[in-house]
Structures are given as structure tokens and as C-alpha cells.
Amino acid sequence: MKVKAAGWAVIALVAAVVGLLIAATLASRTEPLRKLVVATLADRLDSDVELESFAVDPFPTVTIRGSNLVLRLRGVAATARVPPLIQIKSFTVRCGLFDLFRRPRRFRQVTLEGLIVNIPPGGLAGRDNPISGAIQAGSSDGASGYPKAPIVVEDLRTDDALLRIIPKREGKAPREFAIHKLSMQSLGYAQPMPFKATLTNPLPKGLIDASGTFGPWRKDDPSTTPVAGTYSFNKADLGTIDGLGGILDSTGQFHGQLERIVVKGETHSPDFSLDISHQPVPLDTKFQAIVDGTDGDTYLDAVDAVLRQTVLTAKGEIAGTHGVHGRTIKLHVRVHEGRIEDFLRLTTKSKQPIMVGRVALHTDLTLPPGKTDVFERLQLAGEFDVAAARFTNPDVSKKLAEMSRRARGLDSDDKAAGTVASELTGRFRLHSGTMTFTQLSFALPGASVQLQGTYKLRSEELNFTGTLRMHATISQAAGGGMKGFFLKLIDPLFKKKGAGALVPIHIRGTVEKPQFGVDVGRVFKG
């Protein structure tokens, strides 16, 4: 037993000596390792590096800890507009003992806390650099331009980080993304680095899950760093955009460089709505866009959307303006054959659209940034054509049918009175929540109506003036009897431009309760 105990004592003594030797060896290598870490970061990211503390703990596994790591792009003075490229509150590195003596040094896992990444404006750090040319001319992963780093990281992880993208234009606020979880592999291998990330999109607010590859990092011009992958954007709250409502889901794929990312995807909103009507309708889109990741500007090559039964196409941009906070949406929207009731459900409070029928339209859409709701800022200018239109409001249909009957000089019980408006065309312009119509016309059996005026989206007030052109004369429209006989005296007042009668009219009231009338003053004034 004494011999066995002595054996264990010897083993313990040897282990202690070996441990002391390892600790002494690592202690002697702490400062060289610190310098290697700083030099590697400085070279690979073309940055000036500050590191407050750095320590190596050999037991039970080799653990390296550091704090307050700051990297600033060389030649770029730190300002409020251009903060440090990377800030890390603390980091922990784990590796095997022999990993520190390999070439390159291999860190198995790196954990970061308090990570802030500031992507600088495109071209800000652009300088003549032979590596840049080698990368541009080399393979797509950039391996021909970058040699393998003296330190490689197998797995990097961080939670609750912040990605801030500094815009190219001064006066624009940076885009900020809260990164809840991020993992990257194979850092330092001069090849694209696989990554997975979960982050919050600020507007509309929702979670994005993305995975793909990033890099290798282009130290001479970070905005040209390659990126590719797929994303899912789930349960985004459109209500975080003033004037909109509903939940949006989107999936897609992306590739390119930070300054030019090609995105293809689709969105699904089963309950898209505008707060002016609060009537949800399904909206689905497929799109292709180019996103400038350095400032967030988006250029829409093609958008194909389906709003209930209506198919829309659009193209344009979502871009910032110098000195203006936020981005302006500019689109050209076209509908070849849709349904007018689909648009009316979005823009009117009535549960039943006042009109149904086929619609074709094209419009230029502009939505400037601002804090007011969408319809106060939305601007439209275009033309429309509604065919086979039918009014759903019984009172409106009755009045238009009566107008059509009188325009043809038919008796009140004549079954040939027919339908109401068959076609509606015009030009429109929306500004500050008021729709202005010009050259608005619709045809009735026996008559045509020309109008111009305004429609207020929120109050649904109507204010139109125009003319009713009838086939019949005034006396014929009044029917037979003494009334028709005496009205023959004034028929000449209304017979103009080849019409049986040209009657000045107006429409007032609201969409729910429109009021039709004759402008007698305009008759005698004319």
C-alpha cells in the first residue's frame, strides 16, 4: 500500500510539474500571442487596433480572455458619422494546448459580448491596393487575393450584437439592426465564411432568420465584401408603418456584394389593410430587387403582386435624399385587368364597395418619408378605365337608372330603362389625402356624363361638377302631358353641340349618400 501511495504521489508531482511548465510556457507566450492577435486583426481588417486587457488561462482548457477591443479603419478619423469599425466589450477564446503551437494558430471557439459593427460608407476606405486588384481578378470567393491568416477561428458566436450601416449620404440616419444570435465558421481561411443570424428588422418590425456565406472581407473597400444566402422574414408587423396594418411573411435568396445585393423573394400578407378603411384584403407579391447594403437604398426591378383578384406590376426605387431623414418610395404601377372593388375595399369605409367592374390603370406613386400616416403622404398621378361597371348602392343605381330613362325620353314604367354606368374613365391625382379627378366620364344608356372634382379619402366627401349630355330634349325627358308641353319653351337653352340636351349638374354628399342636382345658375350663365 505504501508503494502504491508513493506511486500516486510521484504521478501527482509529475503532473504538477508539467502543469507548471505549461503555465510558465503559456505565460511566456501571452505577450507574443497578444501581439499576434492584434497584428492579425490589423492586417486582415486594415485597421488600427486597441486592446485593453489580454490574459491566458491554461486550466482546465486553454482559455483566452480580453476586453475593450476596438478597431478603426486606417486613415479614417473617428467622428460621430464614422465610428469605429468594430467594438467588442469582451471576448473569450477556447482552444487546445497544441492549437497554440500550430501554423496557423487554431481557435476552436470564440465568444463575443457587446459586439457593435459599423459598416462604413462605400468607398470611404477605398485606396489603391494590390490586394484589391487580385481579388477582383481572382475567383468569386476571393481566395486568390488573400493568403490564409496566421490565426483561424473554427466557430464564432455572439448574442445581442448591433449592426450599424453608415449611409453614403450625409444627413441620413444610419440603419441599425439588432442581431439576437450570430454564428460564423471558418474565419481566416481566405474563403466565404458560413453564417447564421437572427436579427430584428426595424421597419416593418419583425424577425429575420438568415443563413449563407459572408466574405472574405475586402479590407481595402468593405462595401465590396461578397455575401450570399437565404432569408425568412416571419410575422412582420405592418402596423409599425403609420397607415398600414396586417402581418407579412417573406422568404427569398440574395447574393452579391454589400453595396449591391440582388434579392429575389416573395411576400404573403393575408390581412393587408390601410387605416383609412380597416378592411383587410390578401396581398401576395413576387419581387426582384437590388439593395445597396451600405445605405439601404433599394431598386425594384420587377414586382408582381396579387391583391385579391387584381394583378399589379410595379418597378421603381426606395431611396434616400440628401439632407432628408428616411427614404422616398417612387414606383410606376400598372394594372392591365383588375377589379375596381379590390381597390375600393382598401380605400373606403363601406363594407360593400360602391362599384364593381373591370379596371385598368397606370399611375406614378410617390411616398415621401414622414411621421404622418401613409395617406397623408401618398401621392398618385395616373389614368384609369373601368369597364362593365355596376353600382352596388341601390339609391345610386336608382338615380342613375332614372337619369338614363329620362335621357332617352322613356316612360317611367318602360322596361327598356336598362342598366347604369357601363364605362368609367378619367385621370386622377392624389395629394394630402384628397383625390382630384379630371376628364372623368362615364356612359349611361342614352347619356354620357363629364365630371371633374374632388373626393376626400377620410371623410369620403364628394364635390363634383360637370355636364349630362342626353339624347332626349328637356321636354322629352320630362315625359308627356302639360309639363312636357311647357318645357318645350326652354329646350333651346339646353340644345348645344348637337345634343338633345346638355345639362349642368353637380354631385355632393358622401359615397354612402351622394346628392345629384342641376346647376340652374350655370344654365342661364351659359
- In sequence order, which residues have a C-beta less than 8 Å from that of residue 408 and are 6 or more positions away? 416, 417, 445, 446, 447, 470, 471, 472
Stronger pLDDT, 447 or 256, i.e. the higher one:
256
199-251, pLDDT tens digit by residue?
988 878 889 999 999 988 887 777 788 999 999 998 899 888 877 889 999 99
Residue 279 has pLDDT above 90, yes or no: no
Mean pLDDT estimate for the chain = 79
pLDDT average, residue stretch 121-146: 39
CB-count burial class (<10 Å; 0-12, 13-18, 19+) for 385: middle
pLDDT average, residue stretch 138-153: 55
352-388, pLDDT tens digit by residue?
888 899 999 999 999 888 777 777 888 999 999 998 8
pLDDT, residue 143, reads 41
CB atoms within 10 A of CB 114: 16
Residue 464 has pLDDT above 80, yes or no: yes
SS3 306: strand
φ, ψ (nearest 5 deg) of residue 166: -80, 125
φ, ψ (nearest 5 deg) of residue 171: 95, -15
pLDDT, residue 514, reads 83
Q: Report the distance separating Cα 28 and Cα 522, nearest Å.
A: 102
- Domain positions in the chain are 393-525
CB of 222 closer than 8 Å to CB of 190: no
Q: Report the distance separating Cα 110 and Cα 182, nearest Å.
A: 12
Percentage of the chain with pLDDT > 90?
A: 32
Residue 415 has pLDDT above 60, yes or no: no
Taking the C-alpha atoms of 95, 100, 102 and 104 in order, what is their torsion angle to the nearest 10 degrees? 80
φ, ψ (nearest 5 deg) of residue 459: -85, -15
Residue 25 has pLDDT above 50, yes or no: no
CB atoms within 10 A of CB 152: 18
Stronger pLDDT, 120 or 429, i.e. the higher one:
429
pLDDT average, residue stretch 116-145: 46
pLDDT, residue 101, reads 66
Among the ranges 21-25, 89-93, 170-174, 482-486, which has the highest mean pLDDT value?
89-93
Amino acid at 338: G
The pTM of the full predicted model, rounded to 2 decimals, is 0.75
CB of 268 closer than 8 Å to CB of 235: no
pLDDT average, residue stretch 401-415: 71
pLDDT average, residue stretch 421-433: 87
For residue 354, give the DSSP letter.
S
- In sequence order, which residues have a C-beta less than 8 Å from that of residue 417 and are 6 or more positions away? 401, 402, 404, 405, 408, 410, 445
Percentage of the chain with pLDDT > 70?
A: 78
- In sequence order, which residues have a C-beta less than 8 Å from that of residue 168 and are 6 or more positions away? 121, 122, 123, 294, 295
Omega before residue 121 within 30° of 0, cis: no
Residue 435 has pLDDT above 90, yes or no: yes
pLDDT, residue 127, reads 37
Residue 449 has pLDDT above 50, yes or no: yes
Residue 187 has pLDDT above 50, yes or no: yes
* Upper half-sphere CA count for residue 128 (Cβ side, 13 Å): 0
pLDDT, residue 380, reads 92
SS3 120: coil
CB-count burial class (<10 Å; 0-12, 13-18, 19+) for 20: exposed
65-97, pLDDT tens digit by residue?
999 999 988 876 555 567 888 999 999 988 877
